[in-house]
Amino acid sequence: MDTQITNKNPQMRYKQRKEEKPLMATGLSYNKSKALRDRLYALIFLGPSLLVLIVFVFFPMFRTLYLSFFLTNNLGKPTVFIGFANYISLLSSSAYLHSLQATFIYVIAVSCLTLTLGLLLAQTASQKVRGISFFRTIFSGTMGVSVSVAAIFWLFIFNPSVGMLDQLANLLHLPAINWLTQPGWAMTAVVISTVWMNLGFTFLIFFGAIQSVPSTLYEAAQIEGVSKIYQFFHITLPMISPTLFFVSIITLIESFKSFGLIDLMTAGGPDNATNLLVYRIYQDAFLSGNYGLASTESVILALIIAFFTFIQFKVLEKRVNY
Amino acid sequence: MGIELSNISKSYDNQNWTLKDVSVQIRSGEFFTIVGPSGCGKSTLLRMIAGLISISNGTLKIDGRDVTNLQPQERALTMVFQNYALFPFLDVKANVSFGLKARKMQSAQINERVANALELVGLSELKDRKPRELSGGQRQRVALARAIASDTKVCLMDEPLSNLDAQLRSKMRSEIRELQQKLGITLIYVTHDQVEAMTMADRIMVLHAHTVQQIGTPSEIYQHPANAFVAQFFGTPRMNLLSVHYASKNQRHLKFDSYIDYLLPRDIEDGDYFVGIRPGELEIHTADKANAVIKNIEYLGTQSIIHAVLDNDMEIRITTSKNNTFCLNDHVQIRATNTYFVFDSTGKAIFFNKGDVQNGYTDHKQEPANAL
Ligand SMILES: Nc1ncnc2c1ncn2[C@@H]1O[C@H](COP(=O)(O)OP(=O)(O)OP(=O)(O)O)[C@@H](O)[C@H]1O
Ligand SMILES: [Mg+2]
């Protein structure tokens, strides 16, 4: 499931080596024993981490790819090579396509809301107002909340009989909503909870970035009569664009990988409305024992994430001012 | 556009005054310099004038209009910051036009103003560069161009040259001075560098210990310092300040030894005094009868600064011409000339160059009413 991270590492490693080699070769004191010693040192220093990477990253990665072309028994052992049959059956399964769609909706909603709200909170907390440090602490509060605690907290809020939301609706004479048992509302509830979980981290990063913008930039603008809103869009945003770029990629990847809250709050239900790709992988692999199919889904998910990250790099990098 | 400060005070913590009762009338088109040691509140004063921080007490008038409680943009002025405050993501042109664009000025007019401003500071060629592709001096000029483009009659500058090397600094000094003359703007210029203040300003305000020490033209300040602090702040090397006790039996003589002996123009009360002697106003000779030993010599090319210790253990600085043959530990004779200052025990000036402060020079408090 962590394949998108592993994809990057070997590449970077390779690049660095390529740059170092010619340097060594042109060195005046270059000789064979020194080169040998360098290799040895390289092996000693890189060996342990390489070993760890191989065992926990590269092997599972290639194993997953390998398994995706097989039928497996319920111990996860490959039995029959079936080529792309897993892929074809998945992409023609309406249940899987439904998951895909739900995931896209979820990811887009979560990313947009997290980024906008995080930015809004960070900008608010950057104002010089009395007592603002209290809110800074509150805003970053969800950093310290674990998924299970958050799930229980939100289950309480969304609970149809004792939940705060429905009591509120009652008070306002609005119809009660069965948050977690109606498909559309269940997705909304999960999105809200995830955004809430994300906000602490996003807020903190954005807040730090906004704080590091030199105050003289704003002062210079203020003296020239530039409005606060114009300052935000034409000074703050461009100045923090590298952070914005970084956080947007992280958020996107993280929301593709959401699992804990889904599992604890809806378990993919109701009616598969919140059965996102990662949750489906978990179900297929560990509940149904269908490792081949689950591997195929993992590969597809990795490709999707890689694709989106690539697009983000291409589109956003042009607008980022480093 | 004259600027009038009346009893401007600032306290950051509501307990201690960072600045107390600063009053001055800055004339229209004047190059006015605020100078003082680090931490004396120069930036604080400038930022109060700009409206970036509130004025705790007193009133500020620009062009006769009370602006004490107005927002910065309502005060019709511009400011150049020490770190230039350029937008790193915009090119030179966009940096200069930033404020104009934000205020929705017509683009034809913007282009004209920007081109004009860049022309004035000699940056037309580099208008498409980003700030990081410019040298420090060029960045400083972009900041100047931005101030020029905003077309206000009052400009504030907070140590604009302190990030530049010495050579560029002296070049920019004359450039800024020329621009100010050409555009006829009122310029309030903050610096901690006394040379900068002396060479650029029409008038100088010296800040120290939360208060104004003196306001005057460079020559007034140099020749008639109001107190020992001002006297020592201006001029390199620093003025010698020798403490002495006076009693009427001395018959108007302030005497350190047989060669350094000043005859006062009138009698003064008994008590402790300081005699201020500029290092250039002492003579140094090799003679049989020595009264000092040379402890250090700083060779500066056109002159040398000699640090000597008098026989009565007082340390003293003397500048000499480049043609001298003094060596370390030489025994020399140091003689007074007729130019000296006398300060009372609180540092207040009493005499300068034999002139009496009381009936000679008037300090800023009795400034003529037609100053504006
Ligand atoms: N925002 C602030 N809050 C509290 N005290 C401040 C603040 N800004 C400045 N001070 C204090 O006010 C005094 C004057 O500061 P100011 O920045 O005006 O000095 P300055 O003359 O500009 O010094 P420098 O030459 O180093 O720039 C200092 O003692 C400083 O510690
Ligand atoms: Mg300052």
**Confidence at residue A103, expressed as pLDDT on a 0 to 100 scale:** 92
How many angstroms is it from B35 CA to the middle of ligand 1? 14
Which of A220, A227, A241 is opposite residue B85, by nearest beta carbon? A220
How many angstroms is it from B86 CA to the middle of ligand 2? 18
* A86 three-state secondary structure: helix
Q: Does B370 have pLDDT greater than 60?
A: no
- Residue extents of the structural domains in chain A: 2-49, 91-321
> Residue B40 — very low, low, confident or very high, per pLDDT cuts 50/70/90?
very high
**B57: its two tokens:** 């007490």
The superfamily CATH assigns to domain B228-354 is Nucleic acid-binding proteins (2.40.50.140)
- A261: Cβ–Cβ under 8 A, 6 or more apart, which residues? A147, A150, A151, A154, A190, A193, A194, A197
Q: Does B355 have pLDDT greater than 90?
A: no
Judged on CB neighbours under 10 Å (0-12, 13-18, 19+), B204 is buried
Give residue B363's identity as a one-letter amino acid code: D
**Confidence at residue B371, expressed as pLDDT on a 0 to 100 scale:** 35
**Confidence at residue B361, expressed as pLDDT on a 0 to 100 scale:** 45
Of all residues in chain B, the percent with pLDDT exceeding 90 is: 63
**Confidence at residue B339, expressed as pLDDT on a 0 to 100 scale:** 86
Architecture of domain A91-321: Orthogonal Bundle (1.10)
Q: State how far residue A289 is from chain B, nearest Cα, in angstroms.
A: 54
Contact A217 B146 (CB under 8 A): no
**Confidence at residue B199, expressed as pLDDT on a 0 to 100 scale:** 93
Sort out which chain B residues have CB atoms less than 8 A from A219's CB and list them: 50, 52, 72, 79, 81, 85
Are the C-beta atoms of B357 and B351 separated by less than 8 Å?
A: yes
B300 touches chain A (CB under 8 A): no
**Confidence at residue B354, expressed as pLDDT on a 0 to 100 scale:** 60
Architecture of domain B3-223: 3-Layer(aba) Sandwich (3.40)
**Confidence at residue B324, expressed as pLDDT on a 0 to 100 scale:** 78
What mean pLDDT is predicted for residues B310-326? 87
Q: Does B264 have pLDDT greater than 80?
A: yes
How many angstroms is it from B187 CA to the middle of ligand 1? 21
Backbone angles phi, psi at B263, to 5 degrees: -100, 120
Top pLDDT among B85 and A133 is at B85
Top pLDDT among B356 and A79 is at A79
What mean pLDDT is predicted for residues B261-275? 88
Distance of CA A130 to the CA centre of its chain: 35
The residue whose CA has the least distance to atom 28 of ligand 1 is: B39
Among A218, A210, A236, residue whose Cα is nearest residue B73: A218
**Confidence at residue A162, expressed as pLDDT on a 0 to 100 scale:** 73
**Confidence at residue A258, expressed as pLDDT on a 0 to 100 scale:** 87
> Tell me: the pLDDT tens digits for B107-122?
999 999 999 999 988 8
**Confidence at residue A322, expressed as pLDDT on a 0 to 100 scale:** 59
Q: Alpha-carbon distance B135 to B161, whole Å?
A: 13
Q: Alpha-carbon distance B185 to B117, whole Å?
A: 14
Q: Does B149 have pLDDT greater than 50?
A: yes
Which contacts of A148-156 are long-range, i.e. CB under 8 A and separated by 24 or more positions?
Answer: A148/A260, A148/A264, A150/A193, A150/A196, A150/A197, A150/A261, A151/A193, A151/A260, A151/A261, A151/A264, A151/A265, A152/A264, A154/A189, A154/A192, A154/A193, A154/A196, A154/A261, A154/A265, A155/A180, A155/A264, A155/A265
Q: State how far residue B37 is from chain A, nearest Cα, in angstroms.
A: 22
Mean pLDDT, consecutive 10-residue segments, chain A of 322 residues?
Answer: 42 44 50 85 90 91 88 80 85 88 93 95 87 84 85 82 75 76 85 92 94 94 92 94 90 90 84 86 86 89 90 78 62
Are the C-beta atoms of B274 and B317 separated by less than 8 Å?
A: no
The residue whose CA has the least distance to atom 22 of ligand 1 is: B43
Lowest mean pLDDT: which of A173-182, B39-48, B78-87? A173-182
> Tell me: the pLDDT tens digits for B152-191?
999 999 999 888 888 888 888 998 999 999 999 999 999 9
For residue B5, the cross-strand partners are: B24, B60
**Confidence at residue B54, expressed as pLDDT on a 0 to 100 scale:** 94
**Confidence at residue B242, expressed as pLDDT on a 0 to 100 scale:** 92
CB neighbours (10 Å) of residue A313?
13
**Confidence at residue A25, expressed as pLDDT on a 0 to 100 scale:** 47
With b meaning 16 or more CB within 10 Å and e meaning fewer, what string describes B265-274? eeebeeeebb
- Angstrom CA distances, A309 to A108, A175, A305, B95, stand at 13, 41, 6, 33
The residue whose CA has the least distance to atom 24 of ligand 1 is: B38
Q: Does B253 have pLDDT greater than 80?
A: yes
Backbone angles phi, psi at B239, to 5 degrees: -60, 140
Residue in the block written with tokens 């150049």: B80
Instruction: Tell me: ipTM over 0.95.
Output: no
The residue whose CA has the least distance to atom 18 of ligand 1 is: B41
CB neighbours (10 Å) of residue A265?
23
Are the C-beta atoms of B124 and B115 separated by less than 8 Å?
A: yes
Contact A321 B79 (CB under 8 A): no
B14, B20, B22, B40: residue to mutate for ligand 1 pocket, most atoms within 8 A of CB: B40
How many angstroms is it from B52 CA to the middle of ligand 1? 14
**Confidence at residue B369, expressed as pLDDT on a 0 to 100 scale:** 36
**Confidence at residue A10, expressed as pLDDT on a 0 to 100 scale:** 43
CB neighbours (10 Å) of residue A131?
6
H or E segment to which residue B79 belongs? strand B78-80
How many angstroms is it from B171 CA to the middle of ligand 1? 28
B10, B12, B191: residue to mutate for ligand 1 pocket, most atoms within 8 A of CB: B12
Top pLDDT among B326 and A117 is at A117
- Residue extents of the structural domains in chain B: 3-223, 228-354
Q: Which ligand neighbours the alpha carbon of B37 most closely?
A: 1
For residue B334, the cross-strand partners are: B284
Contact A214 B50 (CB under 8 A): no
Are the C-beta atoms of B216 and B32 separated by less than 8 Å?
A: no
A319 touches chain B (CB under 8 A): no
**Confidence at residue B365, expressed as pLDDT on a 0 to 100 scale:** 39
Sort out which chain B residues have CB atoms less than 8 A from A225's CB and list them: 72-73, 99, 102-103
Domains B3-223 and B228-354 are alike in CATH topology: no
Contact B81 A220 (CB under 8 A): yes
**Confidence at residue B24, expressed as pLDDT on a 0 to 100 scale:** 95
The residue whose CA has the least distance to atom 14 of ligand 1 is: B41
- Angstrom CA distances, B77 to A214, A222, B50, stand at 21, 11, 7
